[in-house]
Amino acid sequence: MKKLKLSENALRVLENRYLRRDENRKLTETPEDLFQRVASNIAQASARYNEDGEKDREDFLRIMTDLDFMPNSPTLMNAGNELQQLAACFVIPVEDTMDGIFDAVKYAALIHKSGGGTGFSFSRLRPKNDYVRTTGGVASGPISFMEVFDAATNTIKQGGKRRGANMGILNVDHPDILDFITCKEDNDSLNNFNISVAVTEEFMEAVQNNGEYPLINPHTGQETKKLKAREVFNLIVEMAHKNGEPGIVFIDRINHANPTPELGKIESTNPCGEQPLLPFEACNLGSINLATMVKKAEDGKYRLDYDHLKKVIRIAVRFLDNVIDMNNYPMPEIREMALANRKIGLGVMGWADLLIKLRIRYDSQEAVELAEKVMTFIQEQAHEVSVKLAEIRGPFPNIEKSIFKIPQRNATLTTIAPTGSISIITGSSSGIEPIFALSYHRNVMDSTLTEIHPLLEEVAREEGFYSPELMKKIAEKGDLQDLEEIPDKIKDIFVTAHHVSPEWHLKIQAAFQKHVDNAVSKTVNFPNQATTEDVAQVFILAYRLACKGVTIYRDGSRESQVLIKGPAKGDRHKRPRPRMTVGATTKTEIGCGKLYITINSDENGICEVFTSTGRGGGCHSQSEATSRLTSLALRSGVPVAEIIHQLRGIRCAASLKRKGVPNTSCPDAIGRAIEEYLKYADKESINRYNILMSQNNKEPDTFLNNGSSVCPDCGMEMEHEGGCVLCRNCGYSKCG
């Protein structure tokens, strides 16, 4: 096998999240080994159909090692391993009974443990305060049960390589819809959920006509009241403007494209919204890297290589169909539905990179037309392969209950998913998003390096304006617009996500959606100064352009309003200990006695931690060392979330042996105490500090908002893309 061309960042993400390790956490696998493992495992399914498994193995290996195609993360992580759970997306029904609700919680836990994400519609649950005949009490409503799902996810996601992620959907005509729309107004609520409102054609028509629409109790089927549609729509817009949620899914449009309507209605999607699924359905995804689908013509310009693209599509469809047979499903109900409908989701990544190579501006009509052309080609080729597979292997078993007149192997074939970590492995732009930034920060050992986008350097050399000095200037500035050394045509093609207007984000999304079986995951980015009217116009435009859903993010809207002041991101110079602090002390139990943890704040937030042990003794040196290092990290600009993440879950034999101890070790106790302090005391402590400072005739420093999301694993800036959040430094993804 030829040598893999992987970036340093790709290698780091593979080592952190994908490669095998032994019980001592020592790596036992190389990237080459990983792709061999996956290709060999998935090709085994071909032999079941008396096909040439060795040829498929070679084909599968080639498209992965050439970085032309990459399957979803669970397949890379688990194929050929003991777990063997290969699907990314699941939808679990939530029935309106206590047994049904907690069965769904259990199913979600099993799926999250196996590395999958889950979608739920809570629309079947009776509204809060509705009479419950069996108990004589009243119902608590969908949102209270969403909190149960969220807590369960929080517990399960502590282990494993992928964090649990959920989609929560509620129909716009549910009586609790107003509470649902505002349920994530507090940024600390339901953090393991993305939420979307399922809006109907009736509702959207009422919005446009300024009419009313009925709310229906799902338990009785009776109308409870009417609401003004435009007021509800405006509330959705207001909340989305505030912090990006809820999104919208056009549920009638989704069901109009349901390939198996006789099996029931689609109620929900996976966590990022691109995969509508029936209850108990699963889908495995994979993406073609469009950045590698180009060749240089005789005139020196790049052209899209449709012959190469065709070959990759045909191999990728076989690969994903094989995954269905090789998958170890977490539940028998899911296995039954997956094998009966055989849904796959082939998508793309590297779209922005492709446009740059072809010298096409992202926000242009030329890009929209190319999007339609490319996705039409992928769609047609994928369905052609599925028809041929049906002739050899047989059509999907539920074909008689489908809309298809010609037998095919798979009920759906195409999906545009957020590619997150796999786009880091291929070194490509994510999904169909624009490039996020021209320069980015990367942690290397104890320092932070600033690097420019690799294609910018490549284009600079090709166009003859490269110089090390200019590249350094771009890296520091992060923008091309005021640099006279760079031609205007180059400035045009390196447009970044925040410089693409919302309308063009949607035009690109709609162009792909026209030729995609499932849906398109995409984030419409807004500048921070965008108004609610701007958001409303995008929601209406998404409806008019026949999108199946829409997610927006206004820059800086999801971050805390009181963040650490001081050095720029990545600058780890320690700030001095303040003269005065205020705080609180927590008493807790550890394996060898009592531990007292004091946490203090200054005007910037938490700045130090002290510990002392009770009379029973204990590991005083360990707890003191942990608290000193924690204090140092806090004053050196390390994000609090990262510190908590590193401390929580560390185990100590003494704590594990002693019954009733709420902490697994001294460091775990400190991490828990900081977490609790953030929830209940930090803002109050900062306020007390400011009062003390003003009483001492000292003006408190101004709080600054750095306008970025911070990765909980490595502390670097994260990107909002494809309905998810991604760290390109370490591969962390909110959605797994």
Q: What is the pTM of this model?
A: 0.81
274 noted as active-site residue: yes
CA 511, CA 724: separation in Å to the nearest integer? 21
Catalytic hit among 9, 194, 270, 284: 270
Amino acid identity of 296? K
pLDDT of amino acid 705: 26
**Which residues are within 8 A (CB) of 214 and not within 5 positions of it... i.e. 6 or more apart?**
173, 223, 224, 225, 226
| Catalytic residue flag (residue 238) | no
pLDDT value for 436? 87
Which is the catalytic residue, given 274, 281, 433, 721? 274
Helix axes 640-647 and 666-680, enclosed angle (nearest 10): 150
Catalytic site includes residue 212:
no
Residue 92: partners with Cβ closer than 8 Å, 6 or more residues away: 104, 107, 108, 111, 118, 119, 120, 279, 280
pLDDT, position 700 = 34
Strands 302-304 and 549-554: unpaired
Is the separation of the CB atoms in 176 and 127 below 8 Å? yes
Where do the domains of the chain lie, and which CATH numbers do they carry? Answer: 8-84+285-426 (3.20.70.20), 89-263 (3.20.70.20), 437-495 (no CATH), 582-695 (3.90.1010)
Contact between residue 407 and residue 387 where contact means Cβ atoms under 8 Å apart: yes
pLDDT of residue 163: 64
CA neighbor of 31 nearest in space, from 58, 7, 59, 57: 7
**DSSP string over 254-313:** HHHT-S-GGG----EE-TTSS-EE-TT-EEEEEEEEGGGSEEE-TTS-EEE-HHHHHHHH
Catalytic residue among 183, 194, 267, 272: 272
Sequence length of the chain is 736
pLDDT for residue 567: 33
* DSSP string across 203-239: HHHHHHHT-EEEEE-TTT--EEEEEEHHHHHHHHHHH
What stretches in the chain show pLDDT beneath 50?
Answer: 158-159, 445-446, 560-572, 697-708
Largest CA distance in the chain: 84
Quick one: pLDDT at residue 619?
Answer: 66
**C-alpha distances out from residue 143 to 128, 165, 175, 627, Å:** 9, 17, 12, 38
Identity of residue 74: P
Three-state secondary structure string covering 643-678: HHHHHCCCCCHHHHHCCCCCCCCHHHHHHHHHHHHH
